[in-house]
Structure 1
Amino acid sequence: MGLDINLMVNNDSEVITSEYFENSNLYSLSREFCNLMCRPGVVEHTSEFDQIGEITNINISHLYKMTEYPSEEEEVNMIEFAENEEEKECLKSDFEKRKEDLNGNINQVKVLVENLINKLENIDNLYEKLIKTDFDSMNSEYYFSDFNKDKGEGYVGNNFGQDLRNFKRFIDYAIDRNSETIWFEYV
Structure 2
Amino acid sequence: MRHADQRGVRLARVDDLPPAGRGLEPRRVVHHARQVDRWRVRIPGAGKIMLNLAVARFCRVLGTLLHNGVPILKSLEISSEATGNRVLALAVQNAAKNISAGESLAAPLAASGQFPGTVVEMIAVAEESNTLEAVLINIADGLENRTWRQLDLFVRLLEPIMLLVLAGAVLVVVIALLLPVIKMSTTI
| Larger fraction in helix | 2
| Larger fraction in strand | 1
Higher relative contact order (CA 8 A, sep 6+): 1
Answer with 1 or 2: which has the greater Rg: 2
What TM-score comes out, normalization by structure 2 length? 0.26
